[in-house]
Amino acid sequence: MSNVVFIPNVDRDERIGSAFNHMFSIIYRTEEIDDDTVIWDFSNTTFFHPFFLAPLILYKNRSQKNIITVKKSVNIDNYFRLIYFDDMLCFDELADLENRLNPYKRKTYIPFCRFDLCESNIDGMQTIIQDIIEVQSNAGREIKTPLSYMLGELICNISQHSDGKYGYIFSQCLSHKEKCINICIADDGISVFGSYVKARRYLDIINSNEAEALRLANEGYSTKDLPETENRGFGISTSKRMLVEGLKGDFFMLSGGAFHRHDINGSDYVKLPEMMNWMGTIVLLRIPIDVPQNFNYIEYVIR
Amino acid sequence: MELIGSDIRSRQNADRIRNSIANYDGVVELDFNSVEFISRSFADEVYTIVNENRDNVKLKNMKGIVDSMMSVVADSRTHKRVRKTENSFIFEFSDIESLSAYLATF
């Protein structure tokens, strides 16, 4: 069996998460190869949609296989260097992050960033990255609060529930093609299903079905409520409503053995075949740059 | 004493408040004068801190987003949560071929 996997030119993501059709195929073919070394051949590629590129980077960096990338064009090679495809942008101090991201204000993307979930500077990191995204997108001031809210809640979720070591964030503004900000947030933790199992909460409802676990999380059933009140579990559900109903955007979440997609066409949960499992959780947000005139973020924070 | 910042998102920030007031006997004022944004999660933690320290923690200069978030959290703590039902389907696939066929319909 050849140890070469040809990487397709995934330059679009028609309905959010559709890029995973190609991603799952790449994972499956890579894992099927007996050799510890796998060649990813990029000879057919010219551009990647961020929702394909982000999981590709994550998978490559965490795979047990030794993955070697070959036949990248000069443009792709340069782009991969700028987004830290092979090694991810890591930082210790916020000043370091700010200095390294400032040149990206003139671009449409930020590098693929990795951050330590135990660090106390996660809020500062978000502020720096969000400032860059807002400049890149040239969006109006109305985007600031919903963007702060969604980033804040989803990254806080990672810290609180993933039990992972690192979080990841990647973003690209496709102002002309989609008029959207595409953001990917991920972790390397125990997955949504894993967090319910660890907390021993709602296991009778979940019944070992990871898609059910994802549904519970997205409907706001938390593992960490206070005994006397349902005070938690609002992060994902309110962020998703704000994005999909309020901003007319799209939401996708892949965690362990299941994924969820919610857009204007509806809401689906999918349990993956047993042999497919994603390490941790990855969330994709497609955020329209133009905020609807009657949008009021508070309406979506309430429940 | 400036404690946190103007853009407060993580729940962990509340631990800094708890640690600061832990061994203090008098009334503590949490002044949000320079704070421009707080997340709902952080607001939830602040609400818990105020509740745990009934007469000893006061909130000051809450305006704009800060005031709105605290109001939302306070309201949700005193009213039963009502969830909006999603009309969603759960699909299950046992092999890569059927999964690919489904994903091709995206």
Of A211, A241, A303, the CB nearest to B82: A303
DSSP H helical segments within B22-89, as ranges? 40-52, 64-78
Residues A176 and A57 occupy one common structural domain? no
Cβ within 8 Å, pair A152-B9: yes
If one counts the domains in chain A, the total is: 2
pLDDT for residue B1 is more than 70:
no
CATH code where residue A122 lies: 3.30.565.10
Tell me which residue of A269, A50, A82 sits closest to A174, measured CA to CA: A50
Cβ within 8 Å, pair A152-B75: no
Residue to test with chain B: of A234, A236, A250, most B Cβ within 10 A:
A234
CA A155-A159-A162 angle, to 5 degrees, is 105
Report strand pairing: A250-256 vs A278-288. Answer: antiparallel
**Which chain B residues are within 8 Å of A18, Cβ to Cβ?**
103, 106
Residues A51 and A150 occupy one common structural domain? no
What mean pLDDT is predicted for residues A81-91? 96
**Which chain B residues are within 8 Å of A270, Cβ to Cβ?**
90-93, 99, 102
What mean pLDDT is predicted for residues A145-168? 95
For A56-63, which contacts have Cβ atoms below 8 Å and span 24 or more sequence positions? A56/A7, A56/A23, A56/A26, A57/A83, A57/A85, A57/A88, A57/A112, A57/A170, A58/A168, A58/A186, A58/A282, A59/A23, A59/A26, A59/A27, A59/A30, A60/A85, A61/A86, A61/A88, A62/A188, A62/A279, A63/A30
Name the one residue in this structure whose structure tokens are 């502020």.
A127
Does residue B4 or residue A293 have the better pLDDT? A293
Tell me which residue of A188, A172, A191, A179 sits closest to A54, measured CA to CA: A172
Question: B22 touching A, CB under 8 A?
Answer: no
Cβ within 8 Å, pair A123-B10: yes
pLDDT tens profile A275-297: 899 999 999 999 999 999 999 99
Residue A140 structural domain: 88-301
Give the residue extent of every domain in chain B. 7-80
What mean pLDDT is predicted for residues B74-92? 85
Question: B75 touching A, CB under 8 A?
Answer: yes
Cβ within 8 Å, pair A219-B83: yes
Residues A111 and A252 occupy one common structural domain? yes
Question: B99 touching A, CB under 8 A?
Answer: yes
pLDDT band at A303 (very low <50, low <70, confident <90, very high): low
Residues A25 and A155 occupy one common structural domain? no
Of B39, B86, B103, the CB nearest to A267: B86
Residues A75 and A217 occupy one common structural domain? no
Residues A264 and A283 occupy one common structural domain? yes
Of A152, A226, A241, the CB nearest to B39: A152
Q: What is the ipTM of this complex?
A: 0.93
* Longest Cα–Cα distance in chain A: 60
The share of chain A scoring above pLDDT 90, in percent, equals 87
Q: What is the pLDDT of residue A185?
A: 98
Residues A92 and A76 occupy one common structural domain? no
**CA A145 to CA B37: how far, in whole Å?**
8
**Which chain B residues are within 8 Å of A169, Cβ to Cβ?**
none
Of B12, B75, B93, the CB nearest to A120: B12
What mean pLDDT is predicted for residues A123-143? 96
Amino acid letter, residue A246: G
Residues A113 and A228 occupy one common structural domain? yes
Q: What is the pLDDT of residue A233?
A: 80
Residues A252 and A109 occupy one common structural domain? yes
Residues A257 and A112 occupy one common structural domain? yes
pLDDT tens profile A18-30: 999 999 999 999 9
Of A123, A220, A273, the CB nearest to B93: A273
Q: What is the pLDDT of residue B53?
A: 87
